[in-house]
């Protein structure tokens, strides 16, 4: 090992920092250094990777039901917190299906609610829009299929494609891709080899985008997604012409 003493000291500081062995003053200084010092960032990242198997192998413990609700409240007590509670009420309703008294009361409440709703609906169409958006958000929270796009050359993960139940498909880049002047990144999918790859998205730089698969059949497992480098405005032939930067197949989310 031909390590310079300075590097060793930096690595040991990073190790103590990651281990949690620094006293509070030294830790605060390290926190600050982490913001600005790239070599320290690298050293800390390396120690997190080295010791990470301890975390991955910790025995899982089921959280109590309230924990997520508390997190929602603390991260901002907004409408998103109200909707899941309402959804739980809806499922509880099923067990009350045969309860006559419940229905009598519900009938009265229902009438009152209908009146109140009529008032609210007139005044605030935006509210129902928000509510609908939240409900949709709830349904599409978790993607049905995921493709991790990897570079053949470097084996680096470049982006993730998430396909949701409502048909929305998004691409989230995880690496900054240098796009030369006059070129663009184009996203393709191949669900039928006989038909060939179809263009589904175009972006000048690596940023999260929604892909347009409206014209295509529903996304399925093992469907190929890839990103190629194309002339500005997209491939002139409708087929990939440039190098494939990242590619990967969809897998069903467990």
Residue ranges binding other proteins (CB under 8 A): 1, 8, 11-12, 15-16, 18-21, 24, 41, 45, 48-64, 67-68, 70-71, 74-75, 80, 137, 140-142, 146, 148, 157, 160, 162, 172-176, 208, 221-222, 249, 251-252, 254
Q: How far is the CB of 235 from other proteins (least distance, A)?
A: 26
Residue closer to other proteins (CB basis): 106 or 203: 203
- How far apart, in whole angstroms, are the C-alpha atoms of residue 145 and residue 94? 30
Distances (CA, A) of 144 to 169, 238, 251: 10, 28, 9
In the complex, least distance from residue 21 CB atom to other proteins, rounded to whole angstroms: 6
Task: For other proteins, give the closer residue by CB, 143 or 240.
Answer: 143
**Can you read off the two tokens belonging to residue 221?**
């497992």
Select 33 or 175, whichever has its Cβ closest to other proteins: 175
Name the minimum Å distance from CB 25 to other proteins: 13
User: Distances in Å between the alpha carbon of 64 and those of 46, 67, 74, 141, 217?
Assistant: 33, 6, 16, 21, 41
**Which one, of 195, 141, 196, 150, lies nearest residue 173 by Cα?**
150
- In whole angstroms, the minimum distance from the beta carbon of 109 to other proteins comes to 30
Q: What's the rounded Cα separation, in Å, for the pair 211 and 209? A: 6
For the bound state, the minimum distance from the C-beta of residue 128 to other proteins, rounded and expressed in Å, comes to: 19
- CB nearer to other proteins: pick between 59 and 182: 59
The CA–CA distances, whole Å, from 104 to 48, 95, 100, 110 equal 60, 16, 6, 10
Of 45 and 111, which CB lies nearer to other proteins in the complex structure? 45
């Amino acid at each position: 090992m031909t390590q310079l003493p300075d590097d060793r000291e930096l690595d040991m500081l990073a190790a103590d920092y990651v281990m949690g062995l620094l006293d509070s003053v030294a830790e605060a200084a390290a926190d600050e250094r982490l913001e600005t010092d790239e070599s320290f960032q690298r050293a800390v990242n390396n120690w997190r990777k080295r010791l990470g198997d301890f975390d991955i192998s910790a025995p899982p413990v089921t959280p109590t039901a309230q924990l997520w609700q508390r997190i929602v409240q603390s991260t901002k007590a907004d409408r998103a917190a109200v909707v899941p509670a309402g959804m739980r009420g809806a499922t509880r309703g099923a067990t009350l299906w045969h309860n006559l008294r419940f229905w009598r009361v519900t009938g009265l409440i229902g009438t009152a609610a209908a009146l109140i709703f009529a008032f609210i609906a007139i005044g605030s169409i935006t509210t129902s829009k928000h509510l609908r958006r939240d409900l949709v958000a709830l349904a599409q929270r978790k993607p049905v299929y995921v493709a991790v796009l990897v570079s053949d050359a470097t084996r680096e993960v470049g982006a993730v494609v998430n396909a949701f139940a409502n048909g929305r498909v998004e691409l989230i880049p995880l690496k900054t891709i240098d796009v030369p002047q006059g070129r663009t990144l184009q996203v393709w999918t191949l669900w039928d080899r006989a038909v060939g790859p179809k263009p589904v998205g175009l972006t000048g730089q690596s940023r999260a985008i929604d892909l347009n698969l409206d014209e295509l059949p529903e996304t399925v497992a093992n469907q190929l997604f890839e990103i190629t480098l194309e002339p500005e405005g997209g491939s002139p032939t409708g087929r990939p012409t440039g190098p494939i930067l990242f590619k990967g197949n969809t897998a069903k989310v467990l």
